[in-house]
């Protein structure tokens, strides 16, 4: 019979981080991935991801941010690849906007190093920008770009080096609790384990009865442009950013260190609910919003289109994660609903999930991420 101590469903960034932590602690870990590894239809796939400390999403994330940054830097030092490139971060909006004021409050209350910049100062210091006068920014120097592909592969490698197993193209078709563990069915076999961690991202929305009902899937598109002035978008010249524009839309963006490029996207696309395996390829006209942003606020970024990528984000009603046991099921841990801002925090999320599996006390308070809040 095929067995493991712990089965992790999903080889995305959260699943690999969880598996790496469990395997390091001596658990026999099996990671099951429905698609290829890395999976091109998953949110963990692709190029850069933003890391920022000026977190408008709330102070509950600061312990996760601190622990994750420490872990990313440790991983970065363990490989010849550049996993983390420090650029600083800008949180941009009007002075009374939720994103700007939330980031500023987090920095002030928790004594996080930051500056408040008016539009003219942003434009002078970071020449790619042409912000109108009504905007202000919170600048935080420790933000940066995570190389998504290398981060994912490095975490998977850490798990494998500690004895974990990874099986791609082996989707979980069903799982049930047994008297002494869980039985996990795939097209190939039935696996037995003591416990299961479900970290399957957008796939979880249709496979978890008690949690799936609160998860909302949403199509998102990000674009990569080749700037007309590449030097203006170099990591030392162009901080990662999140920005609320006057009409209410929210954008994010970053430099692409390998190419001297510019990545920009809008997290939400018209509330389109779609399964990741049925998500159509992005069309050229879906770059219009991102290109319009570049034209309005960073004109030198309005160069040739280098790529357009679609993915499916999974949101909870309050925009916060779910990291918890399934109600009444101590053998089942879920780490889902990353709501478009989970990649940067994956090391800490994985540690929290692993602590729940091992029934250990985590150094991070996970009560804010309980499924019982819904």
The pLDDT assigned to 123 comes to: 98
Same domain? 223 vs 209? no
The pLDDT assigned to 268 comes to: 58
User: E strands of 202-351, at which residues?
Assistant: 216-226, 240-244, 250-256, 261-266, 304-315, 322-326, 329-336
The pLDDT assigned to 270 comes to: 54
Mean per-residue pLDDT pooled into runs of 10, the chain (374 residues): 93 98 97 96 90 92 95 92 95 95 95 97 98 98 96 97 98 93 96 97 80 83 94 96 93 88 76 72 84 96 92 90 93 93 96 94 87 92
Of 315, 342, 364, which residue is a domain's last?
315
Of 276, 300, 315, which residue is a domain's last?
315
The pLDDT assigned to 266 comes to: 75
DSSP per-residue string spanning 139-179: EETT-EEEEHHHHHHHHHHHHHHTT-EEE-S----EEEEET
The pLDDT assigned to 271 comes to: 53
Cα separation of 209 and 303, whole Å?
45
The pLDDT assigned to 111 comes to: 95
Residue 154 lies in a domain: yes
Same domain? 353 vs 237? no
Other beta carbons less than 10 A from residue 278's beta carbon:
8
Residue 309's beta-bridge partner residues?
222
Same domain? 305 vs 156? no
The residue segments making up the domain with residue 363 are 2-44+149-214+318-373
Model's pTM, two decimal places? 0.94
The pLDDT assigned to 269 comes to: 52
The pLDDT assigned to 366 comes to: 86
Same domain? 126 vs 220? yes
220: nearest Cα among 49, 59, 58, 102 = 49
Same domain? 228 vs 311? yes
336: nearest Cα among 210, 195, 211 = 211
């Amino acid at each position: 019979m095929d067995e493991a101590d712990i089965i992790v469903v999903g080889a995305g960034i959260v699943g690999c981080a969880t598996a790496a932590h469990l395997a390091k602690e001596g658990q026999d870990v099996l990671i099951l991935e429905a698609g290829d590894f890395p999976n091109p239809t998953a949110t963990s796939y692709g190029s850069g991801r933003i890391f920022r400390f000026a977190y408008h999403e709330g102070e509950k994330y600061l312990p996760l941010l601190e622990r994750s940054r420490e872990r990313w830097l440790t991983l970065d030092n363990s490989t010849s690849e550049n996993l983390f490139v420090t650029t600083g971060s800008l949180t941009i909006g009007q002075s009374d906007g939720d994103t700007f004021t939330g980031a500023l409050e987090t920095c002030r209350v928790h004594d996080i190093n930051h500056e408040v910049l008016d539009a003219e100062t942003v434009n002078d210091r970071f020449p790619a920008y042409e912000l109108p006068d009504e905007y202000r920014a919170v600048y935080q120097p420790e933000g940066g770009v995570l190389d998504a592909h290398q981060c994912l592969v490095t975490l998977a490698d850490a798990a494998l080096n500690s004895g974990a197993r990874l099986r791609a193209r082996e989707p979980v078709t069903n799982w049930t609790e047994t008297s002494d563990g869980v039985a996990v069915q795939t097209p190939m076999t039935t696996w037995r384990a003591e416990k299961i961690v479900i970290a399957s991202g957008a796939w979880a929305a249709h496979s978890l009865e008690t949690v799936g009902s609160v998860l909302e899937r949403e199509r998102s598109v990000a674009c990569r442009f080749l700037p007309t002035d590449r030097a203006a978008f170099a990591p030392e010249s162009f901080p990662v950013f999140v920005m609320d524009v006057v009409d209410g839309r929210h954008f994010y963006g970053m430099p692409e260190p390998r190419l001297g490029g510019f990545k920009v996207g809008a997290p939400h696309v018209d509330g389109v609910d779609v399964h990741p395996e049925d998500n159509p390829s992005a069309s050229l006209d879906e770059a219009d919003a991102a290109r319009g942003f570049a034209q309005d606020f960073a004109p030198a970024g309005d160069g040739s289109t280098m790529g357009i990528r679609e993915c499916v984000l999974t949101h909870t009603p309050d925009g916060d994660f779910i990291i918890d046991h399934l109600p009444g099921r101590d053998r089942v841990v879920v780490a889902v609903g990353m709501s478009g801002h989970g990649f940067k925090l994956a090391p800490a999320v994985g540690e929290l999930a692993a602590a729940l599996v091992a029934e250990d006390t985590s150094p991070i308070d996970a009560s804010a991420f309980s499924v019982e809040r819904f």
